[in-house]
Amino acid sequence: MIEAKGVFLTYGDGTEALKDVNLKIEAGEIVYVTGPSGSGKTSLLKLIMGIEYPTEGYLKVMGQNMVREEASNIRRLRRRMGPVFQEFKLIRGRTALENVVLGMRFLGFPPKMIREEAKTALERVGLGHKAYSLVEKLSWGESQRVAIARAIARKPALILADEPTGNLDLKNALNILEILTSLRDERTSVIITTHATHLIEDVEEGKFVRVDNGIIQVERRGVLAI
């Protein structure tokens, strides 16, 4: 699903965000990306989403070469992803349901199915009763779950969650992690970044990618039961 060989990412101001990244993620894997703030976790997700492009090396995501020249194909590639952004990126002035529906409108789902799937996704994250609430009226945790519902409803092949537990208390953070890990199946991979390593200390299965100062180390725990 994702293959990186000798990938470097250097920003315009000369900051080296990632150095010599070599990584392979298979379909159906769950990957936890950890590391302190500013270590390069978000930069790694940006590369996978095609928000940034490798300054050196080779990166292929779901068969797509991640190079600037392929920008129009990368937009199409994003339709197969379910991103959960650190700052949610929900659209204000719209209800939770409208936000979820909006993320699905251009994906080619049968029109009759879109609303039903969106409601199901909200129920799955425990927000069925807030479907018609404006997103600006929701709490931090609820907004986070709407963003997850938007990602799930798209039925993506790859879910990318950037610091989904940030600013949440322990109970809500664990709840969010549980929802996200439950999304993994034989065709859906999940990548979660977090700086709160204590939250995943007890996780027994998955690939653990430690990012520090742009350099990554990969560790695998348990055997994934797909």
Partner 1 sequence: MRSTIYNIGYFLKEAKTIFKVDLLSNIFSILSIGLIFFILALVISGWGISNYVIGIIEKEAEINVYFREDMRDPDIIELIKEIESIEGIGKAVFVSQEEAYNRMVEILGSEAAILELFDENPFSPFIEVQIHIEEVDSILEELEKIEEVEHIRDNKRVIDRLQNIVFILKIIGLLAVVAVGISTLVVISHIIRQGIYNNREQINTLELLGAPEFFIGFPFFLEGLFLTIMGGLIASLLLVITIRYGYSQMGIALTFIPLPSKDILTNNMVIFIMASSGVLGAVGSLFGLMSSR
Size of the site for partner 1 (CB under 8 A): 24
Stretch in the footprint of partner 1 (CB under 8 A) among 73-81, 170-178, 204-212, 215-223: 73-81
- 85 in contact with partner 1 (CB under 8 A): yes
- 79 in contact with partner 1 (CB under 8 A): yes
8-state DSSP, 94 = S
Question: In the chain, helix, strand, coil percent, each to 5?
Answer: 35, 30, 35
Residue 199: CB minimum distance to partner 1, A = 25
In the window 88-147, what residues touch partner 1 (CB under 8 A)? 89-91, 93, 102-103, 105-106, 108, 110-111, 114
- 44 in contact with partner 1 (CB under 8 A): no
Residue 45: CB minimum distance to partner 1, A = 11
- 77 in contact with partner 1 (CB under 8 A): yes
The residue with tokens 């609820």 is: 142
- 12 in contact with partner 1 (CB under 8 A): no
Residue type, 167: N
- Spatial contact of 141 and 168, defined as CB atoms under 8 Å apart: yes
35 burial via Cβ count (<10 Å: 0-12, 13-18, 19+): buried
- Spatial contact of 159 and 183, defined as CB atoms under 8 Å apart: yes
The closest alpha carbon to 43, from 13, 17, 66, belongs to 17
The residues of the shown chain that bind partner 1, judged by CB under 8 A, are 49, 51, 75-81, 83, 85, 89-91, 93, 102-103, 105-106, 108, 110-111, 114, 154
